[in-house]
């Protein structure tokens, strides 16, 4: 068994992998390590490039876009490390960052998972440790109070923006861009929940780790540059790509709150998003906005997405009634939440 398994999920990320993998190749801090690239059916030539430039890395070809959680789970099945690191393709490891986090975990047996300091491309600190999301926290963010009063322990509690990130501390969850955990977590907690195709997977994972009696910590020892939203599909600005990303993000958000808070709570969260998106667009019409065009576009797309879901609801209810009362199973059941990466919406 090796000390560490580093898992990088790839989906047409050749552009950022050219910086990520060379930095990763010599960044294991002297520990025995393996690197697994879990590829979700990339068509940009990145897998051939990896095999040619980094023959020591293992490329796991999934054949299709399985999503972030399932791609990692496939890699977990073959990983041999005592510790496992989830690493985004849009990261650049600096110095001995990986070794620092591994030593941190080795010295604290009750810590199940940990994350280190993430930096933006300009070297500034990126928020990488947060509190679990709640209805109140979303309200603070959507009203702007969270960024207007970042040093308030109440308004800034989601991103812990009142804290400078220069000290170790126990947190609710750390970013999945660079998240390291013990192998025994897989035995006691299981892998990532594949129901989260993209986003909220690390939040759910850290929550289950904490529920199992382990702690989740942040350590400033070790620094990794994270070029946030530079990998697919987050980086694609086209409307058809943004609606796909917003759809899976909304689906994951709903699943997270249904799973941990119940359906009524999840409905309240989505209603909050819809109300504030509508209010934002009304403000744009009346007085304009200084927000970038993509922000305005995303609000419109969010309203369109929820309207399409609402229109699908009567058909979904009728389909379930037909199946339960008339025992009609002639076709596939209609789904309320459709994954646009797997089906036509």
Same structural domain for residues 185 and 268?
A: no
Same structural domain for residues 182 and 71?
A: yes
39 occurs within a structural domain? yes
91 occurs within a structural domain? yes
Same structural domain for residues 263 and 222?
A: no
| Pairwise CA distance, residues 45 & 43, whole Å | 6
CATH of the domain at 117: 3.90.550.10
Picking from 96, 91, 113, 342, the residue whose alpha carbon sits closest to that of residue 217 is 113
Q: State how many domains the chain has.
A: 2
| Pairwise CA distance, residues 159 & 165, whole Å | 11
Tens-level pLDDT at each residue, the chain (345 residues): 799 999 999 999 999 999 999 998 777 666 789 999 999 999 999 999 999 999 999 999 999 999 999 999 999 999 999 999 999 999 999 988 999 999 999 999 999 999 999 999 999 999 999 999 999 999 999 988 998 999 999 999 999 999 999 999 999 999 999 999 999 999 999 999 999 998 999 999 999 999 999 999 999 988 999 987 665 555 566 778 888 889 999 999 999 999 999 999 999 999 999 999 999 999 899 888 888 888 888 899 999 999 999 988 888 888 888 878 767 776 777 788 888 877 544
| Pairwise CA distance, residues 88 & 228, whole Å | 9
Query: Where in the sequence is the domain holding 183, given as residue range(s)?
Result: 4-131+171-226
Q: Which residues pair with 182 in a beta bridge?
A: 83
| Pairwise CA distance, residues 86 & 67, whole Å | 14
210 occurs within a structural domain? yes
| Pairwise CA distance, residues 93 & 34, whole Å | 15
**What are the b/e assignments for 95-130, b being 16+ CB within 10 Å?**
ebbbbbbbbbbeeeeebbbbbbbbbeeeeeebebbb
């Amino acid at each position: 068994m090796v000390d560490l398994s580093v898992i990088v999920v790839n989906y047409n990320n050749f552009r950022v992998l050219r910086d990520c993998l060379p930095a990763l190749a010599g960044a294991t801090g002297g520990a025995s390590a393996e690197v697994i690239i879990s590829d979700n059916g990339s068509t940009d030539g990145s897998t051939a490039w990896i095999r040619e430039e980094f023959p020591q890395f293992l490329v796991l070809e999934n054949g299709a876009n399985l999503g972030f959680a399932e791609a990692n789970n496939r890699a977990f099945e073959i990983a041999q490390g005592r510790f496992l690191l989830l690493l985004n393709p849009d990261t650049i490891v600096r110095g001995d960052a990986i070794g620092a986090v591994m030593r941190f975990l080795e010295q604290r047996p009750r810590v199940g998972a940990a994350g280190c300091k993430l930096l933006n491309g300009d070297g500034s600190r990126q928020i990488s440790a947060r509190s679990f999301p709640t209805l109140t926290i979303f309200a603070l963010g959507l009203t702007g109070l969270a960024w207007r009063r970042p040093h308030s322990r109440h308004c800034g509690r989601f991103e812990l923006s009142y804290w400078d990130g220069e000290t170790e501390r126990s947190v609710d969850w750390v970013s999945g861009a660079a998240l390291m955990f013990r192998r025994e977590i897989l035995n006691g907690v299981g892998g990532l929940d594949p129901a989260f195709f993209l986003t909220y997977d690390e939040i759910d994972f850290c929550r289950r780790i904490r529920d199992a009696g382990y702690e989740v910590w942040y350590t400033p020892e070790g620094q990794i540059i994270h070029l946030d939203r530079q990998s697919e599909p987050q980086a694609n600005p086209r409307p058809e790509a943004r609606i796909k990303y917003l759809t899976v993000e909304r689906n994951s958000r709903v699943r997270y709150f249904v799973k941990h808070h119940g359906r009524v709570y999840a409905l309240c969260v989505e209603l909050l998003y819809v109300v504030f998106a509508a209010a934002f667009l009304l403000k744009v019409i009346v007085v304009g906005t200084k927000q970038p065009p993509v922000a305005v576009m995303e609000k419109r797309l969010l309203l369109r997405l929820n309207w399409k879901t609402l229109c699908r609801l009567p058909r979904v209810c009728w389909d379930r009634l037909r199946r339960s009362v008339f025992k009609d199973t002639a076709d596939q059941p209609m789904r309320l939440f459709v994954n646009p990466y797997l089906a036509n919406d």
